[in-house]
């Protein structure tokens, strides 16, 4: 047994305006949960939530069975119910439809549901995350997240990329050693992955173009609104692609993702009161700034004492992004502040062929990537300089030994990207169950 009709289907059919599918006057059965109830004289209203949408149900004493009228008086928020009624156009109801109830069954009760329409603080809501996800805003954010993921996969699948999953347990540090999660189980030292990139490089040499879509772990010591300790990243890697190619790919991906959300998740964006014109402005080409140009701006405007050669702070990223109406690439970061695998710029080895994509409106870095070092000698030197254990990189160095070619890729943080598209200030709301320095439950 499974539901044959969802609230979303009702609205979808109506949007498509197909006569055969039009729902006015149809009798339908729905199952779901009570979102809200109210009475106006003898007429009673309830908002039914089934996970796909919210539909207003109306109980008129002359149409609705007396048992249903009696059940209504017992309903509390989040009681599970089954209803049957006739659909009618109702321009003032959510979605433009209402269900005139004939019958109703109470499937299960929900006494003292802790999240009420009144304001709650973030700590309380995070403790109630397993229930909070039923609320309208959280529901909209997580649906948009799902759309971002599906659009991303479609983008790569349609271009013939192979989905190539990297392992979660790994002996290799990829993004420095300061935020590694150690795992005690294996004989060797093991960590939770910080990035699938090194394995994607192996994949690119085997399949030409691959992507990893998986969880990523960073033992972040700081609490910021942009950092999770567990987040999801999509990491494409392409053989014979250079930095410029990598930026074009990232630009195409972002345009595709934003377009899909605008097409399929407009009601959610509206529920979040997102300024949609800001998303509609996301069109190619995105501006590209060399690090030196970005640094020159920040030396004048930074509020965090930025100096040429330093990495950007969150505030710095916001200043740079505020100059543009669409995402902006900063490329060519100094070698001294970048990971060991970054290819040095042949015209000036103190800079790398790296790039970050900064989201507009202060949402920070959503993509990081660039071209990889393809020379085995340079890599061996860098591994030493970064204090990494060369023994665990033997397999990685083989990729440079056997048919090494230029290649590039990037990582897009799913939650950062979702936070920007939703206009949500804190990434903790863009993942079903956030993991942060002080948050492991629920
Ligand atoms: O810039 P990062 O660290 O790049 C890498 O890990 C590369 N190895 C990726 C690659 O080239 N294949 O991370 C990539 C993106 C960031 O731009 C950001 O969107 C997200 O991952 N990210 C985080 N998101 C949430 N919480 C954190 N702590 C994050 N750290 C990075
Ligand atoms: Mg980065």
Tell me, using a 6 A CB cutoff, whether residue 218 lines ligand 1.
Answer: yes
Percentage of residues of the chain with pLDDT beyond 90: 89
Which of these, 242, 240, 218, lies nearest to 231 by C-alpha position?
A: 218
What pLDDT, on the 0 to 100 scale, is given for residue 122? Answer: 94
- Confidence grade of residue 15 (pLDDT, cut at 50, 70, 90): low
Ligand 1 atom at shortest distance from the alpha carbon of 413: 19
What pLDDT, on the 0 to 100 scale, is given for residue 223? Answer: 85
- CA of 436 relative to ligand 2 center, distance in Å: 18
- Confidence grade of residue 186 (pLDDT, cut at 50, 70, 90): very high
- CA of 158 relative to ligand 2 center, distance in Å: 27
- CA of 376 relative to ligand 2 center, distance in Å: 24
Tell me, using a 6 A CB cutoff, whether residue 427 lines ligand 1.
Answer: yes
Statement: residue 14 has pLDDT above 80: no
pLDDT in tens, 215-263: 999 998 888 899 999 999 999 999 999 999 999 999 999 999 999 999 9
Statement: residue 379 has pLDDT above 60: yes
- Confidence grade of residue 338 (pLDDT, cut at 50, 70, 90): very high
Are 430 and 363 contacting, i.e. CB atoms less than 8 angstroms apart?
A: no
- CA of 72 relative to ligand 2 center, distance in Å: 53
Give the largest Cα separation in the chain, rounded: 85
Statement: residue 12 has pLDDT above 90: no
Q: CB-based contacts of 302: which residues, under 8 Å, 6+ apart?
A: 313, 315, 316, 319
Statement: residue 17 has pLDDT above 60: no
Statement: residue 345 has pLDDT above 70: yes
What 3 state SS string does the chain have? CCCCCCHHHHHHHHHHCCHHHCCCCCEEEEEEEEEEEEEECCEEEEEEECCCCEEEEEECCCCCCHHHHHHHHHCCCCCEEEEEEEEEECCCCHHHEEEEEEEEEEEECCCCCCCCCCCCCHHHHHHCHHHHCCCHHHHHHHHHHHHHHHHHHHHHHHCCCEECCCCCEECCCCCCCCCCCEECCCCCCEEECCCCHHHHHHHHHHHCEEEEEEEEECCCCCCCCCCCCEEEEEEEEEECCCHHHHHHHHHHHHHHHHHHHHHHCHHHHHHCCCCHHHHHCCCCCCCEEEHHHHHHHHHHHCCCCCCCCCCCCHHHHHHHHCCCCCCEEEECCEHHHCCCCECEECCEEEEECEEEEEECCCCEEEEEEEEECCCHHHHHHHHHHCCCCHHHHHHHHHHHHCCCCCEEEEEEEHHHHHHHHHCCCCHHHHCCCCCECCECCC
Residue nearest to atom 17 of ligand 1 (CA): 367
| Global pTM value | 0.96
């Amino acid at each position: 047994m499974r539901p044959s009709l969802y609230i979303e289907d009702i609205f979808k059919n109506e949007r498509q305006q197909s006569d055969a599918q039009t729902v006015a006057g149809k009798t339908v059965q729905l199952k779901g949960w009570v979102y809200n109830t109210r009475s106006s004289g003898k007429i009673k209203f309830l908002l039914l939530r089934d996970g796909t949408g919210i539909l207003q149900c109306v109980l008129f004493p002359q149409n609705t069975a007396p048992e249903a009228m009696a059940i209504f008086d017992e309903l509390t928020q989040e009681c599970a119910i089954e209803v049957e009624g006739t659909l009618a156009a109702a321009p003032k109801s959510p979605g433009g439809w209402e269900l005139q109830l004939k019958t109703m069954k109470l499937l299960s009760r929900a006494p003292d549901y802790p999240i009420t329409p009144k304001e709650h603080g973030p700590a309380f809501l995070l403790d109630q995350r397993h229930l909070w996800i039923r609320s309208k805003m959280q529901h909209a954010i997580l649906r948009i997240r799902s759309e971002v993921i599906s659009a991303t996969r479609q983008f790569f699948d349609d271009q013939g990329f192979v989905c190539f999953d990297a392992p979660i347990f790994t002996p290799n540090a990829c993004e420095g050693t300061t935020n590694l999660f150690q795992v005690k189980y294996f004989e060797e030292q093991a960590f939770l992955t910080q990035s699938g990139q090194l394995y994607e490089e192996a994949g690119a040499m085997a399949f030409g173009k691959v992507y990893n879509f998986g969880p990523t772990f960073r033992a972040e010591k700081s609490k910021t609104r942009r950092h999770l300790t567990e987040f999801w990243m999509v990491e494409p890697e392409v053989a014979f692609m250079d930095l410029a190619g990598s930026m074009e790919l990232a630009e195409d991906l972002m345009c595709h993702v934003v377009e899909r959300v605008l097409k399929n998740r407009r009601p959610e964006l509206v529920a979040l009161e997102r300024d949609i014109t800001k998303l509609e402005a996301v069109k190619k080409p995105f501006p590209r700034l060399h690090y030196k140009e970005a640094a020159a701006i920040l030396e004048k405007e930074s509020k965090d004492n930025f100096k040429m050669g330093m990495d950007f702070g969150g505030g710095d990223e916001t200043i740079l992004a505020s100059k543009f109406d669409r995402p902006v690439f900063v490329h060519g970061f100094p070698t001294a502040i970048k990971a060991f695998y970054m290819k040095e710029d042949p015209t000036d080895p103190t800079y790398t062929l790296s790039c970050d994509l900064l989201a507009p409106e202060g949402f920070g870095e959503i993509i990081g990537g660039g071209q990889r070092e393809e020379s085995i000698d340079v890599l061996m030197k860098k591994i030493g300089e970064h204090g990494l254990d060369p023994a665990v990189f033997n397999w990685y160095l083989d990729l440079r030994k056997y048919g090494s070619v230029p290649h590039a890729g990037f990582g897009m943080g799913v939650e950062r990207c979702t936070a920007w598209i939703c206009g949500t200030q804190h990434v903790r709301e863009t993942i079903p169950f956030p993991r942060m320095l002080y948050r492991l439950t629920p």
